[in-house]
Amino acid sequence: MSKSNSPSLTNDSVSIYKWKLLFPLILILFVILVFPLGYSLWLAFHDFSIIDPDSNKFVGNAQFQKVLTNPMYWTVMKNTFLFVLIAVSFEVILGVLIALALSKQRILKNFTRAVILAPMFVTPIAVGLMFRFILNNQLGFIPAFLAKFNISIDFFGSNYTLLTLALIDVWQWTPFIILMILSGLESLPQDPFEAAYVEGASKLTVFLTITLPLLKPVLLVAILIRSLDALKVFEYVYAITKGGPGTSTETLQFYIHKLGFGYYRLSEAAAVSWTVVVIIMIGLIIMLKSPKKEST
């Protein structure tokens, strides 16, 4: 980076400097993504199937029409967004509460944190298989425990299966919210809190008027990252239900994977993917615009 000797805040040096900071990222993303994204777009407008490799004619938006008129697509979308909504809501509420509790902890601080973060370190497919057995009516200890109270729940065979899968996601990924909020809390400046306590504000008031607003940027990013990640849920479905009962846990990533690798229709899979990209991008644009209006 060229040394600018004058510490001035002139617009000129900033406008170059800010792009210099960003450039490496753009370069790397461009190099690794230009071909994959281009190719998948190409696929989405053609008719390419692995088991018919010689036919790859341009079909315009026929793939998209096929996808959007397929009732299965809408079932899959509904399941996925419901899954994200349930999982992420639980994760955020629990995550913030547990992070607040942990931030005040004194004894065995690092140990407790390491334990609570542990679920993240197990590969999701193993988490799925683990819970498939733990929640199994005959082989798992949780149903055996519930049976003592005469409770019998079909965790994977009823209308609540999507909820079961969402709760598995909560088990694995609430630690992520905790991790982010804890780090956020640690980076908070101390001054506003001291001032508030001097004024005799109650804990709840301090939380609502100082902690929460200061945490907002971190919390928003946490929700965004978690939602985008939950949108890609695959392993729990794959390891436990294969999308059943019926089609009630068939989610996007699972569906796309099945279309592409199971049914060999790469073009249709790419078309589904791009509809998701468009939907998410529109959602994000709305999300990014609204908080700005609030703050100004």
Chain-centroid distance, C-alpha 189: 28
Q: Spell out the residues 6+ positions from residue 291 whose beta carbon is closer than 8 angstroms to its own.
A: 220
Vertex 72 angle, CA 67 and 74, to 5°: 80
**Helix 109-117 and helix 161-186, axial crossing angle in degrees, nearest 10:** 150
Alpha-carbon distances of 226 from 28, 39, 121, 174, 195, rounded to whole Å: 24, 27, 16, 9, 34
Q: Does 93 bind another protein (CB under 8 A)?
A: no
Of 58, 59, 61, 139, the one binding another protein by CB under 8 A: 139
If the CB atoms of residues 92 and 269 are measured against another protein, the closer one turns out to be: 269
Residues in region 240-259 near another protein by CB under 8 A:
240-248, 252-253, 256-258
Q: How far is the CB of 6 from another protein (least distance, A)?
A: 10
Q: Does 238 bind another protein (CB under 8 A)?
A: yes
CA dist 102 and 223 (Å) reads 20
Residues in region 45-64 near another protein by CB under 8 A:
50-53
Stretch that binds another protein, among 44-52, 57-65, 82-90 (CB under 8 A): 44-52
Of 85, 93, 195, 288, the one binding another protein by CB under 8 A: 288
Cis omega (within 30 of 0) on the bond before 24?
no
Residues in region 105-124 near another protein by CB under 8 A:
105, 109-124
CA dist 133 and 131 (Å) reads 5
If the CB atoms of residues 30 and 61 are measured against another protein, the closer one turns out to be: 30
**Cβ neighbour number for residue 200 with a 10 Å cutoff:** 7
Of 93, 205, 209, 262, the one binding another protein by CB under 8 A: 262
Of 78, 81, 140, 160, the one binding another protein by CB under 8 A: 140
Q: Does 3 bind another protein (CB under 8 A)?
A: yes
Of 10, 138, 150, 290, the one binding another protein by CB under 8 A: 138
Residues in region 150-189 near another protein by CB under 8 A:
152-158, 161, 171, 175-176, 179-180, 182-184, 186-189
Site track 217-236 with another protein (rule: CB under 8 A), x = hit: xxxxxx-xx--xx-xx-xx-
Q: Does 214 bind another protein (CB under 8 A)?
A: yes
Phi then psi dihedrals of residue 254, to 5 deg: -65, -45
Q: Is the dihedral of CA 176, 180, 186, 192 positive or negative?
A: negative
According to DSSP, residue 188 is labeled S
For the record, the structure tokens of 166 come out as 């969402």
According to DSSP, residue 47 is labeled -
Site track 67-86 with another protein (rule: CB under 8 A), x = hit: --------------------
Of 28, 195, 208, 212, the one binding another protein by CB under 8 A: 28
